[in-house]
Amino acid sequence: MSMLKGKTALVTGSTSGIGLGIAIALARQGANIVLNGFGDVEAPRAQVLDAGKAAGIEVGYHGADMSKTADIEAMMKYAAAEFGRVDILVNNAGIQHVAKVQDFPVEKWDAILAINLSSAFHTTRLALPAMQQANWGRIINVASVHGLVGSAEKSAYVAAKHGIVGLTKVTALENATTGVTCNAICPGWVLTPLVQKQVDAKAAAQGISNEDATKQLLGEKEPSMQFTTPEELGELAVFFCSAAANNVRGVAWNMDGGWAAQ
Ligand code: NAD
């Protein structure tokens, strides 16, 4: 359980949901973790520290707003100063907004593109030089099944997620002869606060129970009728960090209960 001992992983948007699940899984493998995100930090920090207790990991935090380039630059400087360098970069922070294209609020479009796509460009460009010098690095982009297929009313999200799959491929290609890999994870539905909001909206709009709204949400898209969990996604991130994945480059790997297979 110390495959990643001595390495440092920075996970954006890791105070909640999938990012926290990935941070816990990497901590369990012995990686030091830099957390990022809004809201309560102490509970996630305690969970991550506990997961890495056996390996004696260190956990840092930076509250950079992923929509702000200067904040991202400050976070990357902080990580380098505290931990030497970022060996594993997980670009996970993301937001959602649902509206038809003609009604889509312009400021929501800008925010989704900035947080879900441009932030990954900035962290990647800032993390790469040290990874290249060390000839080892892992960049894992949390895209979505919406990086592969579309859904109505999610124009900004689908555009950003297709964009991050493209960034993943180019980053992988530019480093293909080195020990630096870049891959994307494409989850289907995962029951996090981001999705709970969509379940609640569906229940309210149709006057149905939360349970029925959940069944409907899964039934529309996900053949397995099951949510993927942050723990499962964390184990996929661990695989991408392993030696077995040394030659896995530029893939967009879905964990989507069959969503994109239809
Ligand atoms: P979540 O809302 O539980 O967590 C999002 C995290 O990002 C939180 O830590 C939040 O504080 C942070 N965050 C939001 N805006 C930020 C900003 N401007 N700067 C810094 N941090 C910010 O959501 P989640 O479901 O865990 O989503 C994580 C990622 O997984 C997102 O990129 C999302 O698009 C993707 N994803 C989620 C699902 C799903 O079904 N939940 C499916 C596919 C992909």
37 lines ligand 1 (CB under 6 A): yes
Q: What is the mean predicted confidence (pLDDT) over 147-167?
A: 98
Kindly report the average pLDDT of the chain as a whole number.
97
Specify whether 109 is located in the same domain as 60. yes
Segment 48-60 shows an average pLDDT of: 98
Tell me the chain's radius of gyration from C-alpha atoms: 18
> What percent of the chain stands above pLDDT 90?
98
Pocket test for ligand 1, best of 65, 144, 194 (most atoms within 8 A of CB): 194
Same domain, yes or no: 31 and 74: yes
Same domain, 78 and 43: yes
pLDDT tens digits along 161-218: 999 999 999 999 999 999 999 999 999 999 998 899 989 999 999 999 999 999 999 9
Ligand 1 contact, 21 CB (< 6 A): no
Segment 13-35 shows an average pLDDT of 98
Nearest CA to ligand 1 atom 31: 94
> Is residue 88 one of the residues assigned to a domain?
yes
Determine the distance separating the centroid of ligand 1 and the alpha carbon of 133, expressed in angstroms.
30
Same domain (yes/no): 184, 209: no
- How many structural domains compose the chain? 2
The answer, yes or no, to whether any atom of ligand 1 lies below 6 A from the CB of 147, is no
Q: What does the alpha-carbon distance between residue 11 and residue 150 come to, in Å, rounded to a whole number? A: 26
Please check whether residues 61 and 104 belong to one and the same domain: yes
For residue 77, the model assigns a pLDDT of 98
**Are residue 116 and residue 236 in the same domain, yes or no?**
yes
- 180 & 202 share domain: no
CATH number for the domain spanning 147: value is 3.40.50.720
Give the pLDDT band of residue 16 (cuts 50, 70, 90).
Answer: very high
Q: How far is the CA of 95 from the centre of ligand 1 (A)?
A: 6
166 alpha carbon – ligand 1 mean position (Å): 19
61 is annotated as an active-site residue = no
Residue 151 lies in a domain: yes
Is the shortest distance between the CB of 228 and ligand 1 below 6 Å?
no
pLDDT of residue 171: 99
Please report whether residue 56 resides in a domain: yes
Please tell me whether residues 54 and 181 are part of one structural domain: yes
Same domain, 25 and 126: yes
Is 111 contained in some domain?
A: yes
Indicate if 42 and 103 belong to the same structural domain: yes
| Cα(177) to centroid(ligand 1), Å | 32
The predicted pLDDT at position 1 comes to 63
- The answer to whether residue 39 sits within a structural domain is yes
Q: Is residue 63 part of a domain?
A: yes
In a domain, 57, yes or no: yes
Mean pLDDT on 219-241: 97
Region 43-69 average pLDDT: 98
Does residue 2 have a pLDDT over 90?
A: no
* Catalytic choice (157, 227, 240, 259): 157
Residues 105 and 234 in one domain: yes
pLDDT digits (tens, 9 = 90+) for 85-127: 999 999 999 999 999 999 999 999 999 999 999 999 999 999 9
- The range of the structural domain enclosing residue 97 comes to 8-190+228-255
Q: Is 66 near ligand 1, meaning CB less than 6 Å away?
A: yes
In a domain, 1, yes or no: no
203/185 same-domain check:
no
pLDDT of residue 194: 86
